[in-house]
Chain A
Amino acid sequence: MELIIALAIGGLTGSGVWLLLRPRTYQVIIGLSLLSYAVNLFIFSMGRLRPNAASILPGANADISGFADPIPQALVLTAIVIGFATTALFLVVLLAARGFTGTDHVDGRRD
């Protein structure tokens, strides 16, 4: 499972960075979205991958070795919400730039 997750993060990051460096605004926003998926998976994996483990302890004296770390899950939720909001905002600016310059080039160039 570690290998699959690592490949997924690597693939998403690689595609994200490549798209981020492209000259079209739509490619940039898709690149940023892919990057944020990669980062979310990365945060999640930092709590160690542990299949079939609950993240809530049943009592104060429970043995924590059988449970997943809940904090990265909470962090991922926060990061998803914030990433979603900022992507939406970026989309608005993208459309405004399209309206002002008449092109979808990031520098507003017509080519």
Chain B
Amino acid sequence: MDILRDNLVILPILLPLATGALLFLLDDRLRRAKSAISLISTMLLIVLAIMLLVSVDGSEPGASVTRTYMLGNWQAPFGIVLAADRLSALLLMLGAILGFCAQVYSLARWNTAGPAFFSLVQFLMMGLAGAFLTGDLFNLFVFFEVLLAASYGLALHGSGAQRVRAGLHYIAINLAASMLFLIGVSLIYGVTGTLNMADLAVRIPTVAAEDRNLLEAGMGVLGIAFLIKAGAWPLCFWLPTTYAAASAPAAAIFAIMSKVGIYVILRLSLLLVGDGAGPSADFGNGVLLYVGMATIAFGTIGVLASQGVSRLAGYSILVSSGTLLAAVGIDLTNVTSGALFYLVSSTLTASALFLLIELVERARVAGADILAVTTEAYGEDDEEIDTEEEEVGLAIPGIMAILGICFGAVALLLSGLPPLSGFVAKFAMLQGMLAGQIETVPASTWVLVALVIISGFAALIGMTRLGISTFWTSLEGAAPYVRIVELAPVALLLSLSVALTVFGGPVMRYMESTAQALDHPQHYVSDVLEATPVGASSEEVAH
């Protein structure tokens, strides 16, 4: 048990790595065994993430408990260190849950659509865990590349001309973004002489005035790399196409990929250029706020213009990215805690929607969406159909009813209507923005509040329109064939959203202490820098 406790921080990286490698070696004909191993491994990953979450959640609010793990047993600024705090543990758990749901879904047919599906998912999990847990900028780059390499494979899973074309764009964009990442990291290293995030937080306030421009240029370049990954306008045009082309389980996992960019921006902007960063304090917050608002506006227009559910889902990811970026840019503790709640809620929603789309689309003929929108636009009357329809009050097939309920739940979540968690999340964020004296709220915040509300309304319009054309006006009566393993993950993701609402109090308390810990990074810094190597601590105890 001690071994488990001592190595808890690195296990979420090692477990998927070992599983992925093992699954590579096993023959593809052992399909059942492979899927069983992969599912059990991801279940263990969820358990590990929960254990980590419990161990970093201190009892008193605001107290930060950061668990560190020194790879190679070198002290923090000299060796690479892993650091788990509330934020990383939360996102790790979210990623593991998404991975689990996508794998369960793939059992029906997607895991056989291409080679090494489970290995790719496991490597993606490894990259995710590493990116969330690392405390070193260059190590972050390495885990990002692991994550991206696996995602290239998953984006192409199932093959086909459309996926390959979208994958080509996706890979080219991400390779270019990785170059920017490297330039930013090396500029920061060139100025400060360190890559450890905690050490950077200590050194940035003391950087000489003549080097500060170079440092801020480095942080700006690094920020652009992450804005590309997060899908911020105008760097987001690749996202809807790639996500719409990807297979359903792959897209469901990709729902968290754009959040990795948000995670890094959130972490670095509060740790490196937070209030204690001297002349660089609040660097880039204005840019994040306005870029975030532009992204919300672009995503909203995209949601309204979408002629298919999969593109709508892609644009709704942009809306959520924009909302989160703007919330980071506002830089108020209460807004950050609401944004964290929104992050979890919107990721679960997007993932459920991507899984649901494929099931819903089975009931439809190709091109029906475009037909429906054209009909709407040109007002083509469907009297012809009415005369052909002899039955009055045609019953909706049972499976369509279930899918319709799920679709409705997703619409509520996306638009932020009560009673589901989308409402709680948006309410918490808006309340944080408008807290205090109403006269002192700046105009940009009012614009953001309006944009968030309008984007929710647009999501409602878009989902209702596509829902009507899918569930109520299907021309062919055949019910889609849906297996229980495909429906179960959707139900699980949606019930987690319900659970977020039911247990809103404790969840919100966790988010608030996370936001407070992020806002006061000195605990994180001292936890990382003052951690002693394993041998040294036992010697000290012996003396």
A72, B186: Cβ atoms closer than 8 Å: yes
Residues of B within 8 A of A79 (CB): 141, 182
Asked, given contacts A20-B172, A39-B179, A79-B182, whether A100 binds B189 with beta carbons under 8 Å apart, the answer is no
Contact with B along A42-65 (1 / 0, CB 8 A): 110011100000000000000000
Per the bound structure, the CA–CA distance linking A83 and B182 in Å amounts to 11
Assess whether A71 is in contact with B189, with CB atoms less than 8 Å apart. Answer: yes
A78 x B142 contact (CB < 8 A): yes
Within 8 A of B (CB), among A68-105: 71-72, 75, 78-79, 82-83, 85-87, 89-90, 93-94, 96-97, 100-101
Whether A82 contacts B142 by the Cβ 8 Å rule is yes
Task: Please classify the interface of chain A as helix (H, G, I), strand (E, B), loop, or mixed, using the class held by over half of its residues.
Answer: helix
Which residues 158-185 in B have Cβ within 8 Å of A in the complex? 159-161, 164-165, 167-169, 171-172, 175-176, 178-179, 182-183, 185
Which residues of B sit under 8 angstroms from A47, Cβ to Cβ?
190
CB pair A108–B161 under 8 Å, yes or no, is yes
A108 contacts across to B, CB distance below 8 A: 161, 165
- Do residues A89 and B176 form an inter-chain contact, with CB atoms below 8 A? no
Contact of A72 among B148, B178, B179, B189 (CB under 8 A): B189
Most buried by B among A35, A42, A79, A107: A79
Cα separation A106 to B164 with both chains bound (whole Å): 11
Q: Check if A97 sits within 8 Å of B168, measured CB to CB.
A: yes
Asked if A100 and B172 sit within 8 Å, CB to CB, the answer is no
Confirm or deny: B138 has a beta carbon within 8 angstroms of a beta carbon on chain A.
yes
CB-CB contacts below 8 Å: B137-167 with A: 138, 141-142, 145, 148-149, 152, 156, 159-161, 164-165, 167
Please determine whether A86 and B164 come into contact, CB atoms closer than 8 angstroms. no
Nearest Cβ on chain A to B481's Cβ, whole angstroms: 28
Alpha-carbon gap, A48 to B168, bound state (A): 36
- State whether B165 touches A89 (Cβ < 8 A): no
A93 touches B182 (CB 8 A): no
Q: Within the complex, which residue of A36, A85, A94 is in contact with B168, where a contact is CB–CB below 8 Å? A: A94
Instruction: Produce 1/0 per residue, B177-216, CB < 8 A to A.
Output: 0110011011101100001000000000000000000000
Residues 13-45 of A, flagged 1 when their CB comes within 8 A of B and 0 if not, give: 000000010000100100010011001001100
B152 with A89: CB separation less than 8 A: yes
Pairwise interchain contact B168-A82, C-beta atoms closer than 8 A: no
Smallest CB gap from B161: residue in A: A100
Given contacts A72-B189, A79-B182, contact A106 B175 (CB under 8 A): no
Given the known interface contacts A93-B156, A93-B164, A96-B164, the answer about A86 and B182 at a Cβ–Cβ threshold of 8 Å is no
Nearest-neighbour CB distance to chain B for A20, whole angstroms, equals 6
Chain A contacts for B167, CB-based, 8 A: 93
A residues in contact with B189, CB < 8 Å: 46, 71-72, 75
Residues of A within 8 A of B161 (CB): 100-101, 108
The answer to whether residues A39 and B182 also contact, given A71-B189, A82-B145, A85-B149 and a CB cut-off of 8 A, is: yes
Q: Number of A interface residues at 8 Å Cβ cutoff, please give it.
A: 33
- Residues of B near A107 (CB, < 8 A) are 165
A93 touches B183 (CB 8 A): no
A28 contact set on B, CB distance < 8 A: 172
Most buried by A among B145, B165, B186, B187: B186
Q: Which residues of B contact A106 (CB under 8 A)?
A: 168-169, 172
Are B178 and A86 closer than 8 Å at their CB atoms? yes
Pairwise interchain contact A43-B186, C-beta atoms closer than 8 A: yes
User: Whole-angstrom distance from the CB of B24 to the nearest CB of chain A?
Assistant: 16
The answer to whether B175 and A75 touch across the interface, beta carbons within 8 angstroms, is no
Q: How far is the CB of A31 from chain B (nearest CB, A)?
A: 9
Contact A42 B168 (CB under 8 A): no
CB neighbours (8 Å) of B190 from chain A are 46-48
Per the bound structure, the CA–CA distance linking A72 and B342 in Å amounts to: 39
A52 to B315 CA separation, bound complex (whole angstroms): 54
A39 proximity list for chain B (CB < 8 A):
179, 182-183, 186
Note all chain A residues with C-beta closer than 8 A to B182.
Answer: 39, 42-43, 79
Q: Which of B149, B156, B189 has the most chain A CB atoms inside 10 A of its CB?
A: B189
Closest Cβ–Cβ distance, residue A73 to chain B (whole Å): 12
User: In the complex the two chains form, what is the Cα distance from A71 to B172 in whole Å?
Assistant: 28
Chain A residues contacting B179 (CB-CB under 8 Å) are: 32, 35-36, 39
CB nearest neighbor in B for A85: B149
The contact of B172 among A32, A42, A48, A101, by CB within 8 Å, is A32
Residue in contact with A90 in the complex, picked from B159, B171, B186, B187, CB distance below 8 Å: B171
User: Is the beta-carbon distance between A32 and B175 smaller than 8 angstroms?
Assistant: yes
**A75 in contact with B176 (CB, 8 Å):** no
Closest to B160 in A: A100
Interface residues in chain A, defined as those with a beta carbon under 8 Å from any beta carbon in chain B: 20, 25, 28, 32, 35-36, 39, 42-43, 46-48, 71-72, 75, 78-79, 82-83, 85-87, 89-90, 93-94, 96-97, 100-101, 106-108
Q: Can you show 17 pairs from A to B with CB atoms below 8 A apart? A: A32-B172, A39-B182, A42-B183, A42-B186, A46-B186, A75-B189, A78-B138, A79-B182, A82-B178, A86-B145, A90-B171, A96-B156, A96-B159, A97-B168, A101-B161, A106-B169, A106-B172
**Pairs A-B, 8 closest by C-beta atoms:** A46-B190, A100-B161, A43-B186, A46-B186, A82-B145, A97-B164, A39-B179, A39-B182
- Given A43-B182, A93-B156: 10 more A-B contacts, CB < 8 Å: A35-B176, A36-B179, A39-B182, A43-B186, A75-B185, A93-B152, A93-B164, A101-B161, A107-B165, A108-B165
